[in-house]
Amino acid sequence: MPSNELLGKTLIITGSAVVRSVEQLIEQHDGKVYNYPLIETVEKVSKEDEYYFRELPAYEWLIFTSQNAVKSFIDKCRRHEQTIPEPMKIAAVGEKTAALLQEQGYEIHFMPTVYSADVFVKEFSMKPGERALFVRGSKAKKTIHEGTGADEWTVYETRPCKKYFSQLTQCLQTEKHPIVIFASPSAVEIYAEHIVPHIDWQNVKFASIGHVTTAALEKYGVQPIVQPKIYTMQAVIEQLILEEQTK
């Protein structure tokens, strides 16, 4: 049943994609929602593509940690008329990442208990002699590579999405009680460089998906008001609602 826990609050989502169900959840609780992506992703096309498609049978595991990696990988598969070899196993970080792979008909063989790279490397294991290939974005940290020994295939690039900078700045200047939601350290860094010179950190509240994103905020002396145990946008909104209910 609709309720008004988010009445008078403006939630600003800064990721590259927003699920409509998340927007609806905010609106059902009388909150305002804006989507101003601070980052955009584009597929990286390079000679690596042909090489890794040729080498796929030599690997036992494929590792995905983002929906963008899955989307770019699937696009490459279609163009090259390739599929994941039948005996290969898939590891995925995050419910949405896993769901996207499953939509393509692929089975998930491993997911960490917490959707982060550092937990992944603690829980993931391979049999002696097995090899893994990490399908990643250009901004991915070396955690997976260093923690598992996986080779790396960069399938997309992340860059600032400049067209929303002025709209986001104006929104923060005019809306009451804005809460900016970050889903990645990259978004935090872009916000710090391009938005903070116009709007001080202290004038806005923040929510964070994942402890790595929270650590990026803490570098600037900022503590998010929300960082749910489940690393999804849905969980952020649900926790904001819950905290309002318990006030």
pLDDT at 226: 94
pLDDT of 135 > 80? The answer is: yes
How buried is residue 148: exposed, middle or buried, by Cβ count under 10 Å (0-12/13-18/19+)?
buried
Task: Supply 87's token pair.
Answer: 């005996």
Sheet of strand 32-35, all strands in order from the earlier edge strand to the far edge: 32-35, 10-13, 178-182, 205-208
Residues 62-75: tens digit of each pLDDT: 999 999 999 999 99
Tens-place pLDDT, residues 176-202: 889 999 998 999 999 999 999 999 999
* Cβ 40 vs Cβ 159: under 8 Å: yes
Predicted pLDDT at 22: 87
Give the pLDDT confidence score for residue 15 in this predicted structure.
81
- Supply the pLDDT for residue 221: 97
Cα separation values, 185 from 34, 101, 141, 168, 210, Å? 20, 24, 10, 18, 9
pLDDT for the residue numbered 129: 95
The reply to whether CATH 3.40.50.2300 applies to domain 42-159 is no
Q: Report yes or no: 167 and 78 within 8 Å, Cβ to Cβ.
A: no
Please determine, for residue 1, whether its predicted confidence score (pLDDT) is greater than 70. Answer: no
The one-letter amino acid at 10: T
Instruction: Give the model's pLDDT for residue 18.
Output: 61
Query: Once rounded to an integer, what is the mean pLDDT over residues 218-236?
Result: 93
Boundaries of every domain in the chain: 10-38+161-245, 42-159
Which residues make Cβ contacts (< 8 Å) with residue 69, sequence separation at least 6?
97, 135, 136, 137, 155, 156
Strands 39-43 and 151-160, by their bridges, are antiparallel
Same topology for domains 10-38+161-245 and 42-159, yes or no?
yes
Domain 10-38+161-245, what fold? Rossmann fold (3.40.50)
According to the model, what pLDDT value does residue 122 have?
96
Cα distance between residue 89 and residue 84, in whole Å: 9
Distance CA 122, CA 125 (A): 8
